[in-house]
Amino acid sequence: MKQDLRNPLARARGLGSAKDGVGHWWTQRITALALVFLTVYFLVTVLGLVHADFATARATVGKPWNAVLLIALIVSMFWHAVLGLQVVIEDYVHTRWLELLSLVLIKFLAVLGALAGVLAVLRVALGS
User: What is the architecture of the domain spanning 23-126?
Assistant: Up-down Bundle (1.20)
Interval 29-53: pLDDT, tens: 999 999 999 999 999 999 999 999 9
- Say if CB 32 and CB 80 are below 8 A apart: yes
pTM over the 0.85 mark? no
How is the chain split into domains, by residue range?
Answer: 23-126
What is the arithmetic mean of pLDDT over 10-38? 84
What is the rounded distance in angstroms from the CA atom of residue 23 to the CA atom of residue 126?
36
Interval 54-101: pLDDT, tens: 999 999 999 999 999 999 999 999 999 999 999 999 999 999 999 999
